Structure 1
């Protein structure tokens, strides 16, 4: 085979691999618009993401709310009277003790986020998951865009059970009941740091793709032993990854999708390691990986 032909084949192969990278918009596009809001998810779509990454909690009236914290964060939220939520009162503003009507009176966008200087400020409240899906699907349809995925994190912990959220079984049932009426199983994944959640879904809903979120340094084998089964996706903090770990995960038929990668140089290094996707606050930066 001629050398020029080899170069062409290698170039085409690199393009194919780049196109397969699953770019996930973290909390929509947190670096650009208020996190976990419908405008942020729409912006992520405009930036070419393949998957929308988001978090869910439960309200007092048992609705599935898109929010990273199960309370009103003092970093980004303002009370109905317009005053900022103070750090001393933040965790007392427990979403599990608030109806959705109460939740939507809090503005979690007009103050911006001091960690993200580019983020556009706007008056916006935490949305229901069903409204996010409705808005996203309508936007895709109206603009003749292809379907995308939803990577949904269930925010739970043992200490939070029946305090900030229902127990694992009830929490999972509420989320599953909503999703089964909105999306086919191939359109979403369930992720969690709480292995109790993943174990329950593995048993109760075996057709759902599961993602193990990892922030510890115990290693792949140790985490899988704790989990008790091999999930479809292994999702660690990107700083924990090396090529050997990626290869080990692939040998176990797990995809590797690290979080939260915001610098292009780090994105490119991870792609060279062989990761299957990245989760980022800046999908506008990551889209070059697919071009």
Structure 2
């Protein structure tokens, strides 16, 4: 064989072998980059692994390196902002009745963990202020106003808690307020003009006129994950709205949403979005 041809073939084999892992590494880097751009939001904390809306669930979200966790805010009979999803106590505590019919002291006597597992016995219903103080600077917090029509003045109360901690002008959207009640979101916008806000919606058709209105006071449109397609994400982005759909409880849904290009994923299982 001609000496030059031999050298050429050896060089070709070398660079071909060397290039393959570089190409694979680049593909993995791109994939990881895409994942990091999609916020990993632990739904009610890492609620697939610990009782929802408890310190245990929020600690688990931090441990799993979620970017944010979501909380549900309601109000006690004596005006304390408490974190619980249902408007009744029956499902997630050993109490019974409407959340708003109990004082904060009465709510603190309830066990909010045993329903999930014996190892969580004694978990309490936390307050918004307690959670802001414990986790600010450690992880982002997505605050949902739950059934605000039941709690007149809850928007002002939330605004006061944020202002008191200089969190009413968050950098990098580390604190976001959202609700299914769009009038309530608009009210928060009036109270805290610099606060990033989100509009929640179920699996319902939405017009361009509605999206334009939402974009006038909110930065996020967070729908049921069933609404999401790549085309719909592009449509939301055309209105300068980011989207963080809910609620992922399986790996296939997480993978689908990542490919659709959503800005964040609200999930009970943070490891489905980012397996760190």
The answer (yes or no) to whether the contact 2:215–2:240 under 8 Å persists in 1 is no
Q: Tell me how far 1:229 sits from its aligned partner.
A: 2.3
The answer (yes or no) to whether the contact 1:21–1:277 under 8 Å persists in 2 is yes
The answer on 1:77 being equivalent to 2:93 is yes
Per-residue CA deviations over 1:47-72 (Å, capped at 9, x if unaligned) read: 11000101101112211111112331
Alignment equivalent of 2:98, drawn from 75, 86, 94: 94
Q: Tell me how far 1:251 sits from its aligned partner.
A: 1.4
Q: Partners in 2 of 1:205 and 1:232 — Cα distance?
A: 13
Change (3 A) 1:204 1:183: closer
Q: Partners in 2 of 1:172 and 1:106 — Cα distance?
A: 26
Match of 2:82 in 1: 65
Alignment equivalent of 2:223, drawn from 220, 229, 236: 236
Q: Tell me how far 1:226 sits from its aligned partner.
A: 6.1
Change (3 A) 1:10 1:112: closer
Match of 1:255, SS state, is coil
Number of residues of Structure 1 aligned to a counterpart in Structure 2: 254
Structure 1, unmatched stretches of 5+, are 80-84, 86-92, 114-118, 138-145
Match of 1:182 in 2: 165
Match of 2:111 in 1: 107
Alignment equivalent of 1:172, drawn from 136, 155, 180: 155
Match of 1:253, SS state, is coil
Match of 2:187 in 1: 200
Alignment equivalent of 2:143, drawn from 149, 152, 160: 152
The answer (yes or no) to whether the contact 1:224–1:230 under 8 Å persists in 2 is no
Q: Partners in 2 of 1:44 and 1:172 — Cα distance?
A: 26
Match of 1:217 in 2: 204
Q: Which has the higher contact order (CA 8 A, sep 6+)?
A: 1
The answer on 1:21 being equivalent to 2:38 is yes
Q: Tell me how far 1:10 sits from its aligned partner.
A: 4.8
Structure 2, unmatched stretches of 5+, are 1-15
User: Which one is further off, 5-14 or 252-261?
Assistant: 5-14
Pairing 1:279-290 to 2, within 5 Å after superposition: 279-288=266-275
Q: Partners in 2 of 1:225 and 1:250 — Cα distance?
A: 11
The answer (yes or no) to whether the contact 2:180–2:200 under 8 Å persists in 1 is yes
Q: Partners in 2 of 1:53 and 1:277 — Cα distance?
A: 12
Q: Partners in 1 of 2:207 and 2:49 — Cα distance?
A: 33
Q: Partners in 1 of 2:109 and 2:56 — Cα distance?
A: 17
Q: Partners in 2 of 1:193 and 1:261 — Cα distance?
A: 18
| Superposition CA RMSD, Å | 2.4
Per-residue CA deviations over 1:10-63 (Å, capped at 9, x if unaligned) read: 543332221121001100111111110011100111011000101101112211
Match of 1:82 in 2: none
The answer (yes or no) to whether the contact 2:54–2:112 under 8 Å persists in 1 is no
The answer (yes or no) to whether the contact 1:211–1:234 under 8 Å persists in 2 is yes
Match of 2:121 in 1: 122
Q: For the pair shown, which has the larger CA radius of gyration, 1 or 2?
A: 2
Per-residue CA deviations over 1:57-90 (Å, capped at 9, x if unaligned) read: 1112211111112331x222213xxxxx4xxxxx
